[in-house]
Structure 1
């Protein structure tokens, strides 16, 4: 170890000791807590819930001189790959002259024939690439794989840096660790420079919340100031791309795509795709939208290309690869196939084109030595039938780095993913560090390590001070704005229904708590009358929360309440099911929600021993979420849709409760229940000291505009929100949703409690349903029909 490396390692260990004390596990727990606070997570395919991102408290340290060699090697490789892509989709001279086998190109599912002859906007196929590197025991770096289709991990590298910086606070300054912000700024500027408009709108195209790296995508979109969009958010019209927003259709100039290229456009590629954008490739071919990376770049991800890159580098650039490939043999050539068959026990076998292949246990690479005799025979049989589908590679032995296991440090093998992006001048900028994947076992073979079980920050350090660069411009040049930007229709839809589901769950929980005798009205006795309990049961049955109980005895009611609160199967819309709906919706808009909000929504269902205790815990969670939305969300259009959903749902609930429990002849139990469901017991007691009476109760829970739980308060809030949300026309005339809100206000405002009827309250419920439909028709643009509607703004 050189003197500089020893000094850096000592500084890192000193920082780690300051955090860990006498237990290294403390450092691991602390960095994991910081990662959770940032909102870092990932999903395993097939699982509904996210897992916390596993980050080690010990970073990988690389000195600036060694990093310079890596940086130059990655940039050289990216330029070579770009040159090859331009030829494959252009003149195709590499194939014509025999430098590349045609089968190697056309056999790949990622070679997209419809794009041959098309020049990407800005002239480049590649704008963001990743290279996986392995360091051997003697310190040499070699390329394990190229990531070109939709490279993942840049967001995790950023999040690792944030978590480790918060844990080892002094390390950045002591070692002059190079920052990530300039890299991301260069990438964003490079995308903007390739667009045809001077102030372009750039989006990050995600497959959606069920994608394994969706949390990373949301974090990147937020950090870079990009619009996080899904295929349904976008529409292609007249060779231009637009995003559906609450203000109509808005022009999109560039997409950083994380969607499989074959699914991008059902008109150009896979006609079965339901997450792409019909017509997107036409807009791209016309030069009106930049795609990073261009579709078709994935053809070079094939492991088989590694066998040809060294010769291509010499032929096309006149220089050897600075970062050599691991030795690779493509079995589509007879001599190479014979070599792989003969040396099978000492090689790594994989699919040439990344698909399932005869004789291989799965899509991942497998060491020949790990195969049984029967598996080896099946593999050789498959290779004889279709040799072009197989690749043999040398098995790389990796160097190790320290990781905290339990309360001690142990060595583990690692790989390094490095990212490069084009800046505004088209030059490659390499992220200083990337992120390291750490193997779960001490075995140093890359094949055994697989994807790894931990990740680590990668710190490039040197003697030169590092300026505290931020992604934001200087404070004296930043243009002040109070408009938070474009709100896609899908996001508005999500926020609206998130509010409705949260309010619906809280209202249902209130019915359950009252039914079980949790009224705070001490004068009402230990239990409600049978007639009132029957009405509460009917409310839950009518809402589809649970099947009707066999009787109104306490045991049957308790089981009925348990089902209404916790049922997760058989189609019942229990509180737990409603919470699950809210979680799914919030997961699709996490780039616009705080970490605290996400944490509360994702919290597991309470497991307290008593049913009322579980209900109380849920009620406090609902209150915390409502408090966050009321006091911590900016008054943006997104918040207005969230609050609008809450107000519509609460208005429907209180109108229904007043109709059922406040009718003429209502009992004291009915009226007390109405106050409980309207969360107005305390307000009523403070205002009236002589007991419960029907008219004042109705006035408080229905008509009092100063009571935040009253129907009138909701009606006024609904009208105000719709007056402030954008309209499509500038003629000053009210739109359909505003007309519905005004007529709703006119129905309720003149009423008096003494003459309030059930018929009017039922009419109010129905009007609220029509109002919700009008909001959806106007703002939640989906499918092709809205594209033909008049008045849509194209900007």
Structure 2
């Protein structure tokens, strides 16, 4: 076995060397691999040896393996204007950067972040840079990202910036420069983390072979930096998101889970007496800091955009009072404008005593007459774009454009528009990008790339730079940054060096951590989502069960039903009463099949199995921080479209069973799980009552009773207990009153009571709350009933009490507009 492993390693090394030699023969000047020095070249050889050692079909197999690991982690993104998430495209070939080269990048990023902090502090403070002519006033006040209410406001902790990012390019000469800065909502750190996790599973031998710098210390420092600005020793920190339609929502959910932040939306939060609170099932809980991931203009309708429906009224007042840290502070995005790059050398000289070592690509702001003349005279060599982030400007309807691509008429329109409002335009150097090896089919091809780097303020106030970030790779050989755009692939970035790296993790040593079995704060919105996810899954499964009973006894294809006409009518009634489908015109074979197909697959409306699943999928999409990747994947699975009606029903039934198993066996017994299970129990009990109401219990025949057992999934339980045929009283007792039947009403009510007893209450008086009183009434009604006397009136009362219970739970625990701020005896912590 040892010799086989050695031979396999030797063979992988030979394959990796062949790949590298073939690649070097075609790589252009300045390519990252071709230009690597001796130590870096050895790192590339180790990386390709690891790639070659992977089982599968060469580079294409490695690519599939890396993509599968990214999918398993749940990495995804949404393109602007789209509703469906896309897979995060991950290349198996990482970008390797030596520690010495990286040191220059990291120092340049920290210096640049300090410069930005000084500039934005001046813009929001004394404004000397404008007064002294270092910075044109038009560049500040003319920007749509300038937020005047922030002038004169000092953020808690004194820092405007806590987290910054920049897109870097490496030229063929090996020099790194900045393509763009990201200060408003820096996106991508989660993708860098997920890329590292996926690559760790794909190329697990690299860290020990190459002394790979780890990501965990950076995220620990970032968390400590935000906490250090808060007034409480153990602050509660939230990640503020606009919701599932945000293009990077999956990344935000992953980061919140990894960092231990609450993932919150504006509707989860409320300001009271200049304090920020999150609405939870236990009342209002104080929030000390927010990592803001939404447009700053939308965070507070009282301070900025009055039309915002996703912000928190009064949030800026709470910040001004020093009671909540917002990272980054609103208004810092004014520095993102491309025109600012033209002034960074002068700003660096003024504030740092030197120009930034990590410089921007050449930029000329057309608000300056000399710069405008240079831009117009060099149009063919420049990229022409808007000076400010925001809507398109005249002459550039589609945004930035290569000047060389403009025809005569377009040039005239641009020159005329520029003459009217020159301050709206910049000319920028067309940056040439270095290339890196990329797996294309069974070979390696050089492709241009850009690198996104992240810096965070640590607990000591100094900047820490993530060792790596992630790269975006173009799918065409054209190495101009303006042509590559956003890129088509991503890759991990590995910073390596000669010195061993300590195995740092966000997990503290077990002997230094205070044990805790309380999972933490549960926002009301999350409880609401978990509750309705449980209800929708049970509702879909119950409806599918009725459809399968209607057809399943007699058909292996779409042929019809062999049940008695009275039983068919009862099943049709159950389905139609749920709103899943219109009643069929008759009970003929084709009419019933059309009816069943509509109930299972109708796209419009809200009652079909497909529609119910769509609602469950929507909840899964906003609950990534609470659900496992397997559960999200099952919820996202497309509706089956192949096979007969029963084949498709079987596929869905197995999916429901898998989801139930994951929730029962893999979800921690937290309050989030309790609400999920509460939803399941209430919906399951309601389904049984609907079934009982469809049958005349006093005159039920054997087929009616058999159907009741089928719909309640209790056939096996009944047959194990009773050797005789179907009898009315035993059947009713089993599915309505027996607390030992996990599919019966009594079991659901008993479980509901147990859950409610463990959920928080708003006062300590010991008086039952409405939901507890209703549950107690249900318990008494079942305990006092006898199977002989159960009739339609009893079942109807149970059904109504269950619906009242659902409403009472919603009123008590879920968001009810401003009600959480008016609630008597409200818990504030």
Q: In which range does the TM-score fall when normalised by the shorter chain? A: over 0.9
In the alignment, structure 1 residue 147 sits paired with structure 2 residue 192: no
Superposition map of 1:247-326 within 5 A: 247-326=282-361
Partner residue of 2:379 out of 328, 344, 349? 344
Aligned to 1:392: 427
Quick one: which of 387, 398, 411 aligns to 1:376? Answer: 411
Structure 1 position 47, deviation (Å):
2.3
In structure 2, the residue matched to 1:580 is: 614
Query: What residue is the counterpart of 1:737 in the other structure?
Result: 771
TM-score (norm 1): 0.98
Report the Cα offset of residue 338 of structure 1.
1.9
- Native 8 Å contact 1:437 1:455 kept in 2: yes
CA distance in 1, matches of 2:509, 2:649: 50
In 2, the alpha carbon distance for the partners of 1:281 and 1:21 equals: 55
Instruction: Identify which of 613, 630, 639 aligns with 2:664.
Output: 630
Could you say if the C-alpha distance between residues 749 and 645 of structure 1 is closer, same or farther in structure 2, counting changes exceeding 3 Å? same
Instruction: Give the whole-Å Cα distance in 1 for the aligned partners of 2:408 and 2:607.
Output: 54
| Match status 1:195 vs 2:195 | no
In 1, the alpha carbon distance for the partners of 2:526 and 2:183 equals: 29
C-alpha contact 1:232 1:782 (8 A) present in aligned 2: no
| Mapping 1:35-54, distance limit 5 Å | 35-54=70-89
Residues 1:222 and 2:257 aligned together = yes
| Residues 1:372 and 1:759: Cα distance change in structure 2 (over 3 Å) | farther
Structure 1 stretches of 4+ moved >6 Å: none
Asked if residue 776 in structure 1 is aligned to residue 805 in structure 2, the reply is no
Shift of 1:782: 3.4
Quick one: which of 639, 642, 649 aligns to 1:615? 649
CA distance in 2, matches of 1:686, 1:47: 53
Q: Which moved more, 1:688-697 or 1:423-432?
A: 688-697
The one of 425, 445, 464 equivalent to 1:429 is: 464
CA drift of 1:341 comes to 1.9
In structure 2, the CA distance between the partners of 1:505 and 1:693, relative to structure 1 (3 Å rule), is same
Cα distance in 1 for partners of 2:786, 2:413 equals 84
Quote how far apart the aligned CAs of 1:608 are. Answer: 2.6
Alpha carbons of 1:572 and 1:208: their partners in 2 closer, same or farther (altered >3 Å)? closer
Correspondence for 1:760:
794
Corresponding pairs, count? 791
2:505 & 2:192 partners in 1: Cα distance?
Answer: 16
Instruction: Quote how far apart the aligned CAs of 1:639 are.
Output: 0.4
Counterpart secondary structure, 1:355: coil
1:185 aligns with one of 183, 195, 220: 220
Residues 494-525 of structure 1, C-alpha deviation per residue, up to 9 Å, x if partnerless? 000000000000000011111113489xxxx9
Distance of 1:210 and 1:278 partners within structure 2: 22
Deviations 1:749-774 (A, max 9, x none): 21111110101111111111111111
Unaligned runs of 5+ in 2: 1-35
Deviates more, 1:190-199 or 1:46-55: 46-55
Residues in 2 aligned to 1:758 and 1:686: alpha-carbon distance in whole angstroms: 27
Secondary structure in 1 matching 2:93: coil
1:126 maps to 161
Greater shift in the superposed pair: 18-27 or 542-551: 18-27
1:722 matched residue in structure 2: 756
Match of 2:281 among 243, 246, 253: 246
Residue 400 of structure 2 corresponds to: 365
CA distance in 2, matches of 1:585, 1:526: 35
Take 1:412 and 1:364, find their aligned partners in 2: how far apart are those partners?
Answer: 25
Whether contact under 8 Å (1:402, 1:409) holds in the other structure is yes
For the 8 Å contact 1:513–1:519, the answer to whether it is kept is no
Residue 76 of structure 1, aligned match among 108, 111, 124: 111
Contact 1:191 1:254 in 2 (8 A): yes
Indicate conservation of the 8 Å contact 2:238/2:262, yes or no: yes
Residue 482 of structure 1 corresponds to 517
> Is 1:549 matched up with 2:599?
no
Pick aligned residue for 1:599 from 633, 638, 644 = 633
Question: 1:323 is paired with a residue of what secondary structure?
Answer: coil
Which stretch shows the higher mean deviation, 744-753 or 591-600? 744-753
Cα deviation 1:717-742 (Å, max 9, x = unaligned): 11111111111111111111101110
**RMSD value over aligned CA atoms?**
1.4
The aligned residue for residue 679 of structure 1 is: 713
Give yes or no for the alignment of 1:499 onto 2:534.
yes
Contact 1:356 1:363 in 2 (8 A): no
Structure 1 pair 348–477 and aligned structure 2 pair: CA distance change class (3 A):
same
Gaps of 5+ in 1: none
Q: 1:292 Cα shift?
A: 0.5
Q: CA deviation at 1:94?
A: 0.7
Partners of 2:552 and 2:792 lie apart in 1 by 26
Q: Provide the rounded CA distance (Å) in 1 between the counterparts of 2:689 and 2:369.
A: 79
In the alignment, does 2:737 pair up with 1:703? Answer: yes
1:204 paired to 2:204? no
Q: Aligned equivalents of 1:45 and 1:330: distance in 2?
A: 28
SS at match of 2:765: coil
- How far 1:375 sits from its partner (Å)? 3.1
Aligned partner of 2:27 in structure 1 is none
Instruction: State how far apart, in whole Å, the 2-side matches of 1:348 and 1:670 are.
Output: 76
Q: Structure 2 matches for 1:92-171, cutoff 5 A?
A: 92-171=127-206
User: What is the aligned counterpart of 1:667 among 701, 704, 708?
Assistant: 701
Alignment partner, residue 688 of structure 2:
654
Residue by residue, what CA displacement relative to the aligned partner does 1:254-313 show, whole Å, maximum 9, x if unpaired? 000101000000000000000000000000000000010000000000000000001111
1:562 matched residue in structure 2: 597
Q: Is the 8 A contact 2:76 2:85 kept in 1?
A: yes
SS in 1 for 2:447: strand
Alpha-carbon offset, residue 358 of structure 1: 3.2
- Which residue does 2:722 correspond to in 1? 688
Shift, 1:20, TM fit: 5.5
Q: Note the C-alpha offset of 1:21.
A: 5.3
Deviation at residue 365 of structure 1 after TM alignment:
2.5
